[in-house]
A and B are shown apart, each in its own frame.
Chain A
Amino acid sequence: MTTQLSRRGFLKTAAAAGAVLYVGVQADGAMAASKSANALLNPFVKIDSDGNVIAIVKHFEMGQGPATGLTTLVAEELGVSMDQISYEFAPSDASVYNNLLFGPFQGTGGSTAMANSWMQYRTAGANAREMLIKAAARDWGIDAAELDIQNGQIIGAGNAAPLGEFVTAATDFAPSETPRLRDPAEWKIIGKASTRRKDSPIKINGEAKFAMDVQLDNQMVVMIKRTPQRGGTVASFDDSAAREVKGFIMAQTLSTNHGVAVYAENTWAAMQARNALNVDWDLSAAESRSSQDIRDEIMAALDADPVFNVNQADLASVRSTVDGAAKVVEKTFYFPLLAHAPMEPLNCTIEQTEEGDIVLHDGAQMPTGPHMAYQQIFGLPADKIHINTMLAGGSFGRRATPDADYQVEAGLAFVMTDRSRPVKLVWDREDDIRGGYYRPAFGHKVRVGLDEAGTIVGWEHQVAGQSIMKGTSFEGFAVRDGIDHSSVEGIADSPYTIPGQALGLTDTEKATSVLWWRSVGHTHTAYVMEVMMDLAARAAGKDPVEFRLAYLTGEGDAERKAGALKLAAEKAGWGKAAPGRVQGIAVHKSFGSYVAEVVELSGNLDDGIVIEKVTAAVDCGIAVNPDVIKAQIEGGIGYGIGHAMRDQITLDGGAVEQSNFPDYEPLRISDIKEIETHIVASAEAPTGIGEPGTPPSAPALANAIAQLDVVVAELPMAENGVSFA
């Protein structure tokens, strides 16, 4: 089988299909179109003479919906129905398919897929429409202004023809920098709740091809026996027992020395051979600390003055204000390491073409990362390396590492062969849970002072934890004046106007590799902000919703956050929980979107609590695909609550203690009985949706549990005084 979809192959295929209209941008950002395969021209919209329309999707699909969303934008502007358009994933070429919010880098993350594509894909669709219309108008001898495309038909002034008829002629016209975008009143697909996902049909019958499903002729499967403690190296290994495994091919130490690659004829043989491999590790320079050591370091940092004064407040003055306040609410929080554990374990496959090009088949979240790494590993120019982006079985951030960790492993394993056989690198679940890259551990210490009237007069907030960005290739744009913004996002940029706030940050040592995890810093900052808001409201004797609204009085940001809060409260019947039930609320802005959630619980702390319902309200600007938005909120809530309930990664002597789902237990179907999502109507440009549902979920749960008189300030909840029925 060949699944190569490199740029060259893609263009060749397209050209062979006959007349094809490409509309996209050139390297300089200008809109361009061509009738032939042109190296400078890399389209977002492809149409052949049969009228088949294909949206070239530059963001990978991990379930968050760009295969549907970006396709929707093209379909809407062009004038075809969702049944008349299909999608393909873009090749790796950052000069054309870069994330407009990432600079010259192609990648998906930060919930930016729709936000950065919104104008780009609409413009591409609109240009295709205008060029086709001009061609038809010329042919029919009428004014182009009289024509439109609807349901794939060019119509107007008594004429009608399928758009495929004018594909070749359309390339006589130049695309415009500013084509006419359809007025929202014209929209037929954007905002329509009945639009179905484009990737559903292939995901219900086994047809969908994830990277794990790549089965190239003659491929080898490689699994890596990795150091049990970060920083350990291979001293020596003995593969005599592995040689007894049928299908074993060879074992070789990776040039990075962090593990031994075991090559086999198939996955099961690779698993068995790796189990049979004996490795003598040099752990003299390896991480040897335990979770308690990490926690102690973070707690000590919270007790000292912060290294960074994030908001340049007068710390002594804020402290003195809080000390002198009528009421003081104080709490110290701790958040453990967390694994991403996407459903599809990490994997990718490399092959070399007859021309000596390297092709990577990968659920590639940031194609530019492995693309650059492979230039070094293989000593090849960028245009000799091709990435075939495949469906990804989840990621939650894990498939995007600044050092392209698993793709590099595959590359290093491949260069040690004669390259005559493709190499498929496979991680199993144990590799995934133990293989590093965790949501960092963080601690917060907050003291809030209130006056007699119950108004906040001072808020002293200290954060300590492991910086995600420092020491990585992303440091340049994510760290300013020594402050990793991802450590304090959600506090430093909160729409709340809190008087007398001091925000300090101290970085602690990284005992293991850390990484963004669905919603990044907001995973802990939202929890702290929203639990503290509830505690402050309680101390003030005020309703938590009313209390929050008093700090959301401005326009814009504050108004939109307040809007989400009010809608969630209204829809959840805030304050009107059924007998035997309690409610908790939280609201947070992240990735440009505002999400409020109300958790309603039954049960009690002795017999266990039951999450009966979560009601969410989201303002993410224009809702392009409302049902995808609802699905992302549902998933974001489940991801946040599941981990808060019972998950943590712990280290013992530098080694990860958990290994698989039995001790890193996923959220299960029975854990949340119902989720209801409401979307705030908006005319603003679309903002993030993959992550914003996660931040408010755990604090809303904590605030509901607090009604039972347990304030959970350390996660996971199940290890800190909460039992779940």
Chain B
Amino acid sequence: MIRFFFVLVVLIFLSFLFQLFLPPILFLKGASVLIAPAIFFYGCLAFPFPFFLALTFVTGLLNDLFVVPQAVPQIDFPIGTSILIYLIPGLVMHGTRSFFLRYQWGTHFWLAELAAVLTPFLLLAQYAVLSFERGEAFFSDVILWWIFGPGLISIVIAPCVFFILTPLSHLLRYRPGLRGNATA
């Protein structure tokens, strides 16, 4: 389990790095392609609660270090905020872990789609924090696309990520919920 945990951490790091080079999808009004959340949501399902919290901490921290500019004195989104933002949908995902442990491809597919549905929440929450800090909230079609567009893209990406990570966990001798995994 520990080995797979660190593999997921590395994959999340690499996906944040990869995202830096992905241009926004212009026909979706500039919506971003987000891969890291899909890997994070898989981790929420695969790991027991303490490891889920550790993964949330690492993912949220990396998210802020990679994308949030720290321009003094106008820091309106301090590093660490995203940990709390990732925690909420992560808890929802972790709550469905019993379904994940059934090892059915169909169930995994629908859980991947749930991950895609939860992805816009991350952007919506970031937008809410920024709106609160900057004292102004407004919605336009562009903003709605930026919030929900990545979710639409994740509908395709998340199942691919899930169906790659499950064989990978087996390759690393980790089958969640089964005995003897803690030492693997």
Tell whether A and B belong to one assembly.
no
A positions within 8 Å CB-CB of B: none
